Amino acid sequence: MATTTKKTGGSKTGRPYPDFHDHLAALEEAGLLRVIDAEVNKDTQLHPLVRWQFRGGIPEDDRKAFKFTNVVDSKGRKYDMPVVVSALSTNAQMYSIGMGVPVDEIGARWNHAMANPIAPRTVEDAACHEVVITGDDLRGEGKGLDAFPVPISTPGYDSAPYFTATNVTTRNPETGTQNMGTYRAGLKASDRLALRMVTRPGGAEGAMHWRMYKERGEKMPCAIVVGCPPAVAFMGPQKLPVGVEEMAVAGGVVGAPINQVKCKTIDIMVPAESEIVIEGFIDTEYVEPEAPFAESHGHVALEDYNNIFEVTAITHRKDAVLTSIISQLTPSESSVIKRVAYEPLYLSHLRDSLGIKGIKKVFLHEPLTNLRKILFIQVERGIPTTEVWRALYGAASLAAAIGKYVIAVDTDIDPNNGDAVFWALAYRANPSLDAQILKHKVRYGPRDPRTPGGEESMLLIDATLKADMPPIALPKREYMEHAKGLWEKFGLPPLTPEAPWYGYSLGDWNDEWDAMAKRAAEGNYLENGRRSAQMRRNDVMPNTSIRDVPDSPFGKNQ
């Protein structure tokens, strides 16, 4: 069949949620979109260029989305279709625009959406069906998949261009429910992809569907959506309960049904406003080698046998843009999508599901670890040790592959500051009393030859204060703030305060010592000397605490 086009579909009129084009316009209005009109090679330059904003010391708030309008490949082929990278969640503000709520309300919106899903609405005409490619138009150089400007994510290691911003949609053959997941899809031919769906426990629901079709002796219908309304796009990385449909939860996010349309060659429903939809069947008899491809755990995933996706149709908007995300070594767009969504879900799990009081925030460590390995729970000072450990165990059990080191800290510890974390571990945790190792954790990342079964373990650490401690050994806040004013007055280099940047009490401090410090700061240290002279004695050794002498003003008997 030849390529066909349609004029209707995709109208914004009457649609109460933004599609991807609306999202790009909102990013541009917010100053979060860079348009590159210069020629850029998708095979060698495009992803490395965008990668620099994650590896070049640029603060997260200053990261942008990139739209490339003049894309070529290493053979000199030019592409009419633009490529957009990092437009979903390069920073929290971008995610907020996509969700339609302020950053501090994202967690509540997710909880509401999952508790109040809205079923999608089926339409007949759809923007994603404006161009339909089938039959011979799928096969041959420059046709089918080979006609699209799919970037190579990690030049020098990746074996092929890969679709990364995917919502791979499959259907449970028994219940009829659909699932969306974000899985990498590498080009093998103009009408063939290699698709990797995680098969480990707690992995991809799509892999569960594949096993069901395999038992039935049938190929599995599958649609790969590349670019769609942000509320739907955010669904792919989410870990919803098995059987919960992402399109309905997306409806809960926007407060209205998402428009969906049936694919042209398979019985799968996809978002009507999708940019590109790749339809086909996954072979359930054969698999073939896939990769190498640089993965989100920060290493190159080596060649494995994975699923074969045979393309039956490609449909897209006439004005489609090809969306791609930066994944691989974190921080990345992929890790921001997960962090912004997962942290509120973990907090809700601990607070609401488990009823643990005193939990302030959950941090999933992002740089170089893809939110999988290191998790911090920030707790209020003084909550019972039993509650700290309930929180540690609760966080360890929520997701199969998340958490290898789970650490509880006080609110004065910034988990984003490695030095502060080491400080808490050094002075607030006793390994023999405050650490527990849990076995039988699902492995995520490169293989460890010492664990042929693929299991890992977890280390839980209570690095919170167990008792009152002396103040932090820095000047009090008012003195540091005054000195900062002097610093700026003298024209010295700009400061970026790092916590802790002033001293504060940790409980082991009293009014007498506070008065002594105040006298010293006022120039009256001699008064303190007269006080200490009156407390001389000849029956104690040097380095003896004043509180260890029974009849001293602060002694144990006083």
pLDDT in tens, the chain (558 residues): 344 443 333 334 468 999 999 999 999 999 999 999 999 999 999 999 999 999 898 999 999 999 999 999 999 999 999 999 999 999 999 999 999 999 989 888 988 998 999 999 999 999 999 999 999 999 999 999 999 999 999 999 999 999 999 999 999 999 999 999 999 999 999 999 999 998 877 678 999 999 999 999 999 999 999 999 999 999 866 778 888 999 999 999 999 999 999 999 999 999 999 999 999 999 999 999 999 999 887 889 899 999 999 999 999 999 999 999 988 888 888 888 888 888 888 999 999 999 999 999 999 998 888 767 899 999 999 899 999 999 999 999 888 778 899 999 999 999 999 999 999 999 999 999 999 999 988 777 777 888 777 788 999 999 999 999 999 988 999 999 999 999 999 998 999 898 899 999 999 999 999 999 999 999 999 999 999 999 899 999 999 988 888 877 666 555
pTM, two decimals, is: 0.84
Query: Is 3.40.1410.10 the CATH number for 4-324?
Result: no
What values do phi and psi take at 552, rounded to 5? -80, 165
Residue 180 to residue 357: CA distance in whole angstroms = 34
Residue 223 to residue 334: CA distance in whole angstroms = 21
CB 183 within 8 A of CB 196: yes
SS (H, E, C) 521-538: HCCCHHHHHHHHHCCCCC
CATH fold group of domain 354-462: UbiD C-terminal domain-like (3.40.1670)
Residue 407 to residue 391: CA distance in whole angstroms = 10
Angle, vertex CA 20, rays to CA 14 and CA 23, nearest 5: 90
Outline which parts of the chain fall under CATH 3.40.1670.10: 354-462
Residue 556 is predicted with a pLDDT of 56
Residue 19 to residue 278: CA distance in whole angstroms = 18
What values do phi and psi take at 514, rounded to 5? -65, -40
Residue 387 is predicted with a pLDDT of 97
Residue 371 is predicted with a pLDDT of 66
Q: At what angle do helices 92-99 and 333-348 cross, to 10 degrees?
A: 70
Q: What token pair was written down for 535? A: 């407390």
Q: What token pair was written down for 377? A: 């729970």
Return the closest-CA partner of residue 227 out of 81, 13, 12, 30: 81
CB 190 within 8 A of CB 242: no
Classify burial at 277, counting beta carbons within 10 Å of its beta carbon; exposed 0-12, middle 13-18, buried 19 or more: buried
Alpha-carbon dihedral 236, 237, 239, 242, rounded to 10 degrees? 30
Partnered with residue 287 across adjacent β-strands are 307
**Residue 77 DSSP SS3:** coil
Strand ranges for 443-507 from DSSP E:
455-462
Partnered with residue 131 across adjacent β-strands are 5, 316
Return the closest-CA partner of residue 259 out of 271, 247, 249, 248: 271
Q: Given the structure tokens 């405050």, which residue do they identify?
A: 434
Cis preceding linkage at 221, omega within 30: no
Residue 555 is predicted with a pLDDT of 61
Residue 107 is predicted with a pLDDT of 85
Outline which parts of the chain fall under CATH 2.30.110.10: 4-324
